[in-house]
Amino acid sequence: MSSNHGTSNHATPPVREPKVVWNNVRTQTISVGGTDFAYRTYGPDRGVPVVFLHHLTANLDNWDPRVVDGIAAHHRVIAFDNRGVGASGGTTPDTIEAMAADAIAFIDALGLKKVDLLGFSMGGFIAQVIVALRPGLVGKIILAGTGPAGGAGIDKVTRVSYTDSIKAVLTGKDPKQNLFFTRTDNGKARSREFIARLKERTENRDDAVSVTVFRTQLRAIHSWARQTPADLGRITHPVLVVNGDDDRMVPTSNSHDLARRLPDATLRIYPDAGHGGLFQEHHQFVATALEFLAA
């Protein structure tokens, strides 16, 4: 007769690791020319990765989790802090061209031979310079809430940023609620949802940018706004241009201008949306971006 003494009829359930999503993916660093750059990466380890290039004053925690998770469900995503921003070392560059050179050096340091780019606002300026400097490095480009060098009204970003930031402080809001969203009831509601999503990560959050970084980046944007327009006809890559129909930071007319001047561009404009249209309409944006990247 057999005995079961000392044994259990119940198998120990396997330990399940938490699913990696934007709100818990770990922050890593890589040395680029002697400077440590902070970044986060996750998603399928196959195909062409998508490098995210972020906006004025942004750190890693300013990307909408729904947008990053949506793209990362099908593509490897890589987001990093610019030099002097968040957990990255060094001093913030005062030109878009220098920021683009840093981005290229970061991509090279990761050993990547081909990337797709998603540039939002200032990140869209950087993306345009990257593809001009290293066209063979880039596959496809998504330009959101951005415009070309010398674009109409971009030189007003400093005034708009200061004015809306002061209003936000006086009313107890996050400045992005005024800067990224329309002032309609719908826009206000979506802005509150966006700010709540940005707070979902509760551990190992990134460092906020300083006033010095803010002013330095504004100088870079102002210089970009005053440049002679570039020949965008030389960028033959597939480009998806998206924006809201009421962008006060980088006027929506610039998105139409990009779509006209880029040889292989697709334009998507979201109604009753502002500068942060990709965040406000994140469901539509992710679906469109995935379709574009897969085409």
pLDDT at 170: 79
pLDDT in tens, 243-264: 999 999 999 999 999 999 999 9
> Tokens 């939002």 correspond to what residue?
120
CA 227, CA 75: separation in Å to the nearest integer?
A: 34
> Tokens 């902070």 correspond to what residue?
38
User: Which range (85-89, 157-161, 246-250, 270-274) has the least confidence?
Assistant: 157-161
CA 142, CA 164: separation in Å to the nearest integer?
A: 27
pLDDT in tens, 158-212: 889 888 888 877 788 898 999 999 999 999 999 999 999 999 999 999 999 999 9
CA 244, CA 270: separation in Å to the nearest integer?
A: 5
Rg (CA), the chain: 21
Q: How many domains does the chain have?
A: 1
With 0-12 / 13-18 / 19 or more C-beta atoms within 10 angstroms meaning exposed / middle / buried, residue 285 is: buried
Q: State phi, psi for 139 to the nearest 5 degrees.
A: -95, -75
Kindly state whether residue 22 falls inside one of the protein's structural domains: no
Kindly state whether residue 13 falls inside one of the protein's structural domains: no
Structure tokens at 32: 């680029």
What is the rounded average pLDDT of the residues 209-230?
95
261, HSE (Cβ side, Cα atoms, 13 Å): 18
Question: In terms of residue numbers, what domain contains 265?
Answer: 28-294
> Tokens 């944007």 correspond to what residue?
221
Looking at residue 188, which CATH number applies to its domain? 3.40.50.1820
Kindly state whether residue 21 falls inside one of the protein's structural domains: no
pLDDT at 165: 81
**Sign of the alpha-carbon dihedral angle for 88, 91, 96, 102:** negative
Kindly state whether residue 83 falls inside one of the protein's structural domains: yes
Cβ contact 245:272 at 8 Å? yes
User: Which range (12-16, 54-58, 78-82, 197-201) has the least confidence?
Assistant: 12-16
Task: State which H helix or E strand residue 150 sits in.
Answer: none
Structure tokens at 46: 């196959």
Cβ contact 262:232 at 8 Å? yes
**What single DSSP character describes residue 131?**
H
What is the rounded average pLDDT of the residues 72-95?
97
pLDDT at 1: 45
CA 161, CA 276: separation in Å to the nearest integer?
A: 14
20, HSE (Cβ side, Cα atoms, 13 Å): 12
Q: Which amino acid type is present at position 194?
A: F
pLDDT at 36: 98
pLDDT in tens, 117-144: 999 999 999 999 999 999 999 999 999 9
User: What is the average pLDDT score of the chain?
Assistant: 94
What is the rounded average pLDDT of the residues 99-115?
98
pLDDT in tens, 17-49: 668 999 999 999 999 999 999 999 999 999 999
Largest CA distance in the chain: 92
What percent of the chain has a predicted confidence (pLDDT) above 70? 94
pLDDT at 5: 47
Kindly state whether residue 9 falls inside one of the protein's structural domains: no
Kindly state whether residue 11 falls inside one of the protein's structural domains: no
Kindly state whether residue 17 falls inside one of the protein's structural domains: no
Kindly state whether residue 1 falls inside one of the protein's structural domains: no
